[in-house]
Chain A
Amino acid sequence: MIRELDERDGAGPIEADLCIIGAGAAGITLAHALRDSGLEVVVLEGGGLEIEADSQEIYEGEIVGLDYYPIDTTRLRYFGGSTNHWSGRCMKLDPIDFRKRDWIPHTGWPIKREELLPYYDRAREVIGLEINLEHDEFWEHFEIEPPGFDPAKLVKNTDQKHPTRFGEVYREELEAAEHVTVWLHANVLEIGTNAEASHVEELAVKSFKGKEVTVRAKAFVLACGAMENARLLLANRKTEPHGFGNRNDVVGRYFSDHAHMPIGDIVSADPVKLLDAARRQFQDGAEFIPRFSLPEALQEEFGVTNAACWLVNELAPSDGITAATELIERMRGLEGRPPLTDSAWRVMVNIDDVAVAAWQRFVQGKKTVQEISYVGLFGCTDPVPNPDSRVLLDEEDVDMFGMPRAVLDWRLTAQDHVSLRKLAEVVGAELARTGLGRLKLHDWFMQEPADDWMMRFHESPEAERLSYLDWISNHNIGTTRMADDPKQGVVDANGKMHHVDNFWIAGSSVYPTSGSAQPTFTIVAMALRLADHLKQQLA
Chain B
Amino acid sequence: MYRRHLFKLAALPLASFALTLSGWRPLRADAMFRDLFGDDRLAAGLGRLYQQQDPQAGRRGLSLVAELASIEPSARERRLLARRQTELAALDVVTIDGWVLARSEADLCAAVHLDGELA
B100 A443 Cβ-Cβ under 8 A: no
**Does B56 sit within 8 A of A, measured CB to CB?**
no
**Does B52 sit within 8 A of A, measured CB to CB?**
no
B19 A441 Cβ-Cβ under 8 A: no
**Does A271 sit within 8 A of B, measured CB to CB?**
yes
**Does B110 sit within 8 A of A, measured CB to CB?**
no
Chain B residue, CB-CB nearest to A268? B20
Chain A residue, CB-CB nearest to B86? A433
Stretch at the interface among B3-11, B57-65, B70-78, B91-99: B91-99
Q: Which of A265, A425, A437, A446 contacts B20 (CB 8 A)?
A: A437
**Does B42 sit within 8 A of A, measured CB to CB?**
no
Which of chain B's residues have a CB closer than 8 A to the CB of A267? Answer: 17, 20-21, 24, 33, 36
Which of B89, B97, B99 has most chain A Cβ within 10 Å?
A: B99
Cα distance A443–B98 in the bound complex, in angstroms:
6
Chain A residue, CB-CB nearest to B20? A269
B25 A153 Cβ-Cβ under 8 A: no
Chain B residue, CB-CB nearest to A263? B98
**Does A442 sit within 8 A of B, measured CB to CB?**
yes
**Does A352 sit within 8 A of B, measured CB to CB?**
no
B91 A425 Cβ-Cβ under 8 A: yes
Question: On chain B, which size bracket covers the interface?
Answer: 20 to 34
Which of chain A's residues have a CB closer than 8 A to the CB of B21? Answer: 267
B22 CB to nearest A CB, Å: 8
Which of chain B's residues have a CB closer than 8 A to the CB of A500? Answer: none
B20 A428 Cβ-Cβ under 8 A: no
Interface residues of B in 78-107 (CB under 8 A from A): 84-85, 88-89, 91, 93, 95, 97-102
B46 CB to nearest A CB, Å: 11
B29 A432 Cβ-Cβ under 8 A: no
Q: Which of B16, B22, B28, B88 contacts A429 (CB 8 A)?
A: B88
With A153-B91, A371-B25, A429-B91 in contact, is A442–B98 under 8 Å at CB?
Answer: yes
Interface residues of A in 403-426 (CB under 8 A from B): 424-426
Chain B residue, CB-CB nearest to A433? B88
**Does B1 sit within 8 A of A, measured CB to CB?**
no
A425 B88 Cβ-Cβ under 8 A: no
B27 A428 Cβ-Cβ under 8 A: no
B32 A265 Cβ-Cβ under 8 A: yes
Q: Which of B23, B28, B84, B100 contacts A424 (CB 8 A)?
A: B100
A464 CB to nearest B CB, Å: 12
Which of chain B's residues have a CB closer than 8 A to the CB of A118? Answer: none
A440 B16 Cβ-Cβ under 8 A: no
Chain B residue, CB-CB nearest to A427? B100
A428 B93 Cβ-Cβ under 8 A: yes
- For the residues of A in contact with B, the DSSP-based class is mixed
Q: Which of A270, A319, A438, A443 contacts B17 (CB 8 A)?
A: A438
Cα distance A424–B22 in the bound complex, in angstroms:
24
Cα distance A374–B24 in the bound complex, in angstroms:
10
Which of chain B's residues have a CB closer than 8 A to the CB of A465? Answer: 28
**Does B55 sit within 8 A of A, measured CB to CB?**
no
B23 A269 Cβ-Cβ under 8 A: yes
Contact with B along A242-279 (1 / 0, CB 8 A): 00000000000000000000001101111100000000
A425 B24 Cβ-Cβ under 8 A: no
Which of chain A's residues have a CB closer than 8 A to the CB of B19? Answer: 269
B27 A432 Cβ-Cβ under 8 A: no
Chain A residue, CB-CB nearest to B87? A429
Which of chain B's residues have a CB closer than 8 A to the CB of A441? Answer: 95, 98-100
Which of chain B's residues have a CB closer than 8 A to the CB of A426? Answer: 91
Cα distance A426–B88 in the bound complex, in angstroms:
9
Interface residues of A in 347-388 (CB under 8 A from B): 371, 373-374
B98 A438 Cβ-Cβ under 8 A: no
B69 CB to nearest A CB, Å: 25
B91 A374 Cβ-Cβ under 8 A: no
A432 CB to nearest B CB, Å: 5
Which of chain B's residues have a CB closer than 8 A to the CB of A168? Answer: none
Chain A residue, CB-CB nearest to B37? A438
Cα distance A429–B69 in the bound complex, in angstroms:
27
**Does A430 sit within 8 A of B, measured CB to CB?**
yes
Cα distance A427–B97 in the bound complex, in angstroms:
16
**Does A186 sit within 8 A of B, measured CB to CB?**
no
**Does A470 sit within 8 A of B, measured CB to CB?**
no
Cα distance A267–B97 in the bound complex, in angstroms:
15
Cα distance A150–B91 in the bound complex, in angstroms:
11
Cα distance A64–B30 in the bound complex, in angstroms:
38
With A153-B91, A267-B33, A269-B20 in contact, is A314–B28 under 8 Å at CB?
Answer: yes
Chain B residue, CB-CB nearest to A317? B27
**Does A316 sit within 8 A of B, measured CB to CB?**
yes
Chain A residue, CB-CB nearest to B85? A433
Which of chain B's residues have a CB closer than 8 A to the CB of A432? Answer: 16, 84, 88, 100-102
Which of B19, B84, B95 has most chain A Cβ within 10 Å?
A: B95
A418 CB to nearest B CB, Å: 13
Instruction: Sample 21 A-B pairs with CB under 8 A, ordered by A number.
Output: A153-B91, A265-B33, A267-B36, A268-B23, A271-B24, A316-B28, A371-B25, A373-B28, A373-B29, A374-B28, A427-B100, A428-B95, A428-B99, A429-B100, A432-B16, A432-B88, A438-B17, A438-B100, A440-B98, A441-B95, A441-B100
Additional A-B contact list (10), CB under 8 Å, known A265-B29, A265-B32, A438-B99: A264-B98, A267-B36, A374-B26, A374-B27, A425-B93, A426-B91, A429-B93, A430-B88, A441-B95, A442-B98
* A interface residues (Cβ-Cβ under 8 A, vs B): 150, 153, 264-265, 267-271, 314, 316, 319, 371, 373-374, 424-433, 435, 437-443, 445-446, 465
8 smallest A-B Cβ distances: which pairs? A428-B100, A433-B88, A269-B23, A441-B98, A373-B27, A269-B20, A440-B98, A429-B88
